[in-house]
Amino acid sequence: MAEMARSLRDGLKYDDKSVQQHIVRHLQFLEKHGHPASGSDFALQTRFFLEDDFHRNMLEGQQTGLAYYLNAAAEALAKSGE
């Protein structure tokens, strides 16, 4: 999550190629460890993070705006079909 927070602080747009690659690497990591998830699955998960106080506060505690940035990035990845 540190890479995503850094991308947000650095002003990278949510659909920047490097931001999208952070998510792709995360999904590859999950798959390698027995938890396969598609971009659409991850987008659904990030929507849950926005609605759940615990997860939203955890992300927002790391970097203001991170929960929303992560959701926008995940939605963009899902829309791209990767």
The answer as to whether 53 is a domain residue is yes
Helix, strand or coil, per DSSP, at residue 82: coil
What does pTM read for this prediction?
Answer: 0.92
Domain containing 66 equals: 1-6+47-82
Q: Distance between CA 43 and CA 46 in Å, rounded?
A: 5
- Residues 6 or more apart in contact with residue 69 via CB below 8 angstroms: 4, 7, 8, 14
pLDDT above 70: residue 82: no
The answer as to whether 27 is a domain residue is no
- Residue 77 buriedness (CB in 10 A; 0-12 / 13-18 / 19+): buried
pLDDT per residue over 15-66, tens digit each?
999 999 999 999 999 999 999 999 999 999 999 999 999 999 999 999 999 9
Q: Distance between CA 7 and CA 1 in Å, rounded?
A: 10
Give me the number of domains the chain comprises. Answer: 1
